[in-house]
Structure 1
Amino acid sequence: MDVHAVLPPRGRDYRLDLLRGFANWAIFLDHIPNNAVNWITQKNFGFSDAADLFVFISGYTASFVYARIMLERGFVIGGTRLIKRAWQIYVAHVMLFVIYIAEIGYLSQRYHDPNLQNEFNVAGFMQNPAATLYQGLILAFKPVNMDVLPLYIALMVVYPLVLWMMLRRLNTTLLLSFLLYLAARHFGWNLPAYPGGTWYFNPFCWQFLFVFGGWFALGGAGESISFIRSRTFLMLGAAYLLFALVMTLAGRIPELGHAMPAGLYDAFNPNDKTNLAPYRVLHFVVLAFFVTRFLPKDWAGLQWPVFRPMIKCGQQSLEVFCSGVFLAVIAHLVLVEVSDSIWMQIVVSAIGIALMTALAYYRSWSKKVDKAPAKASPSPAPAE
């Protein structure tokens, strides 16, 4: 194989675990409506948010893991391992889908709140369960807050071919991905959703962040390191992050928004998340380059105890993400039915993160137990 990519060194990169854990926590907090605690998440301070980070790291990890398999064992084995992972994510999505609908249906009846079904987009299932279930299985129907995993599945299914191309023509593949992104935005390409509309995360646009993560993992960051470390990038990148901060706060603080020129304000508000606005892509690229510059892989802080829960959640990302979607519904119901005070918002947020972290530690322990060699049985005593 004529390889033109540079594989990362073997061994776990705890930066990825830390950032993925942060993304899972932030997604959980952002999924709780009217929750003041989600002001600590990145969506309030720039154009990109935890979803961008999740998709980027997923592309980085897929390339980091399966490119090596593809090189060492061949395209077929590497590609089928990718498809196997996509299947595992699909199974997790289907299980979450069923539990999620059952959860909302039960809670809406238990608290006599039929609006809960409309709020989380599951009322159609209650009216026509057979058709809606079928559409859910083919990823066309998605309740509220369940859009990320279908995007992840779709991208993983086509990624074997993309990864094969990246190993041969790294920069060309990224360029083709970017052209597809531009074409999708220009021509309005998207996948249909059920019962109407299109996918909330347009896969033809969001694929660029996934591929960008792969490009980053396979040597793209190394090729750009001189620019990343340059004074020019430092100044221009910092200026853009500051601009993004001001424009994002303008969209959340009416007094600041009214002080902005209307044309400037309207260009960035509302933030186009569905089709991944170019200013959103640029914001995330700058953040990724800044992390590369200021957070080295051997940073001693990655061993600090304070970061261990977040790193553990990043290492058990799929289970933690799914539990976060489930817990966000319960947290929202508590705020609606019990109290929406600031203290209750803090309590439900903290309990949710604690439960997600406990699950991560349990899954980590469980996997170690499964992999541990069985103890040797004592030899039977010789017959007299």
Structure 2
Amino acid sequence: MTRRWELDALRGLMLVLMTLTHLPTRLSSPLGQPFGFVSAAEGFVLLSAYMAGMVYARMARKKGIDAMRGAFWRRALKVYACHAATLFFLFTVIAAVGLRIDQPAVKDLMSFYLAHPATALLTGLMLIYTPPLLDILPMYILFMLVSPWVLAHALRHGWFWIVAGSVLAWGLAQLGLGLWVYQATVAVTGLSVPFQETGSFATFSWQLLWVLGLWMGAGRSAEGARPLAFARWVTVLAVLVALVGFIWRHHGEGGQAAFGGNVGLNLLFDKWLLGPLRLLDLLALVAVVIHFGPWLKARVRRVRWLETLGAASLPVFCAHLMIVLLVLAIWGANPYAHAWWTDAALLLGCFASLYGVARVSLRLDRPQRLMDGPCGPMFPAAAAVLKGAGVSPPLAAQVPVPAPGASPGKGQAQTATAGSPPH
């Protein structure tokens, strides 16, 4: 079982772009949405769903729906623990530093907590109150909790009604579905968390990305699955749309705001609602990557440090949040308040730290990977070590190991997978 290194590299790239966007440096604006009116968050969610679809659909086919459901829930619990840790870090360390320095950036970011600490802590742990920067993981957890039923239904009955329902929910979200659900919840429960404090991301819109990612990933894990391909006219149209989005983003008068100060038209590209033109730009970029990806993979030199970041994406994501919060608490949110060499030193230190976190995380996670993976043809030495320690690898891993120099038979062909779901 080998990892899909190109997917790890893409996730690593998304993490780098998110870090550059969130850190208050001179690079945050020019490198925000670098490929068009699409941010790293969309890529991160879509890639995570794609890999989850590959890994858990394969698990469901081999071990059954119950095993797949349990794996999803264990993963959601791990992500929840990471979210709770970052939440406590914000409420303790960042609150103490920000208030001591009297930092407006921090006081604005956690204003609801400062006004209602007990309510904020309780509802934060319930994934209701989600401060800025800490609102991706709660959405991710919700998607992970729902995914077992979605994937089980799709594997049994197909994807048509699931995708159709997801598109319908996205369309209703553009008309205010999220606010209506919030108001109905307040009327029933008396919830005291303001709507703007429940997270920037419109969950009913962003679920579409998750469903599309699950669908594509599950399809790739099926026996005899063929690579995704599009008609020539679709590819040409996708390239044109992606080019228009790229040029418009970098040479248009509005910069990251497609229509400048026109709030109404900018909703068509709205990030939080995943507006229709933004979704079109994203789908065009996805089609371009799918079409030209194999060609690039065969010709572009691998960037190992990006792969390392992507392979440990969950701890790296949490570490990047902690670094960004510390910088905001100490330096503030003004990207031009410091000299350029300060920005350079900050970025160098930040990415060195994130790489260190990734290396340590992968090293600590390696024994579990060896136990979960096929400690046979791919890891004969590891299998021997585990056996010597009195630990038996999984039954699926106990397959004959070819003699040195011998070529494996048809029954011993190695299977390439995505490895574990997003870390």
AA of the residue aligned to 2:177: G
Write the mapping of 1:192-207 to structure 2, written as runs, cut at 5 A: 192=182, 194-197=193-196, 198-207=198-207
Distance in 2 (alpha carbons) for counterparts of 1:314 and 1:216: 19
Change over 3 Å in CA distance of 1:253–1:169 after alignment to 2: closer
Give the SS at the match of 2:194.
Answer: coil
Distance in 2 (alpha carbons) for counterparts of 1:155 and 1:251: 37
Write the mapping of 1:51-200 to structure 2, written as runs, cut at 5 A: 51-113=41-103, 115-120=104-109, 122-167=110-155, 168-190=157-179, 192=182, 194-197=193-196, 198-200=198-200
What's the counterpart of residue 325 of structure 2? 329
Distance in 1 (alpha carbons) for counterparts of 2:74 and 2:253: 42
Distance in 2 (alpha carbons) for counterparts of 1:252 and 1:350: 30
Change over 3 Å in CA distance of 1:112–1:334 after alignment to 2: closer
Shift of 1:331: 3.0
Change over 3 Å in CA distance of 1:101–1:69 after alignment to 2: same
Distance in 1 (alpha carbons) for counterparts of 2:301 and 2:245: 31
Q: Is the 8 A contact 2:205 2:274 kept in 1?
A: yes
Shift of 1:346: 2.5
Q: Is the 8 A contact 1:17 1:311 kept in 2?
A: yes
Counterpart of 2:23 (choices 24, 32, 35) is 32
In the alignment of these two chains, the number of paired residues is 356
Give ranges in structure 1 of 5+ residues lacking alignment.
Answer: 1-9, 378-384
Change over 3 Å in CA distance of 1:240–1:268 after alignment to 2: farther
Give ranges in structure 2 of 5+ residues lacking alignment.
Answer: 183-191, 371-381, 390-423
Calculate percent identity across the aligned residue pairs: 25
Distance in 1 (alpha carbons) for counterparts of 2:69 and 2:367: 29
Distance in 2 (alpha carbons) for counterparts of 1:118 and 1:317: 28
What's the counterpart of residue 212 of structure 1? 212
- Would you say 1:41 and 2:37 are equivalent positions? no
Distance in 1 (alpha carbons) for counterparts of 2:249 and 2:153: 37
Q: Which has the higher helix share?
A: 1
AA of the residue aligned to 1:311: E
Q: Is the 8 A contact 2:46 2:213 kept in 1?
A: yes
Shift of 1:26: 1.2
AA of the residue aligned to 2:217: A
AA of the residue aligned to 1:148: I
Shift of 1:279: 1.1
What's the counterpart of residue 311 of structure 2? 315
Change over 3 Å in CA distance of 1:300–1:358 after alignment to 2: farther
Distance in 1 (alpha carbons) for counterparts of 2:341 and 2:27: 10
Distance in 1 (alpha carbons) for counterparts of 2:212 and 2:295: 19
AA of the residue aligned to 2:90: Y
Change over 3 Å in CA distance of 1:39–1:346 after alignment to 2: farther
**Larger mean Cα displacement after TM superposition, 95-104 or 186-195:** 186-195
What's the counterpart of residue 237 of structure 1? 238
Distance in 1 (alpha carbons) for counterparts of 2:7 and 2:32: 17
**Which digits, 9 at most, give the CA deviation of each residue in 1:127-162, with x for residues without a partner?**
432211001011111222111001101111111111
Distance in 1 (alpha carbons) for counterparts of 2:329 and 2:323: 10
What's the counterpart of residue 283 of structure 2? 285
Distance in 1 (alpha carbons) for counterparts of 2:47 and 2:247: 26
Q: Is the 8 A contact 1:69 1:77 kept in 2?
A: yes
AA of the residue aligned to 2:169: L
CA RMSD between the two structures? 3.1
What's the counterpart of residue 296 of structure 1? 294
Shift of 1:223: 7.6
Shift of 1:303: 5.8
**Which digits, 9 at most, give the CA deviation of each residue in 1:268-297, with x for residues without a partner?**
468411211011111111111111111129
**Larger mean Cα displacement after TM superposition, 153-162 or 243-252:** 243-252
Change over 3 Å in CA distance of 1:297–1:101 after alignment to 2: farther
Give the SS at the match of 2:131.
Answer: coil
**Larger mean Cα displacement after TM superposition, 54-63 or 324-333:** 324-333
Distance in 2 (alpha carbons) for counterparts of 1:181 and 1:366: 39
Distance in 1 (alpha carbons) for counterparts of 2:168 and 2:292: 30
Q: Is the 8 A contact 2:97 2:330 kept in 1?
A: no
What's the counterpart of residue 6 of structure 1? none
Write the mapping of 1:240-251 to structure 2, written as runs, cut at 5 A: 240-249=241-250, 250=252
Shift of 1:87: 1.2
Distance in 2 (alpha carbons) for counterparts of 1:125 and 1:301: 50
Shift of 1:44: 4.0
What's the counterpart of residue 406 of structure 2? none
TM-score by length of 2: 0.75
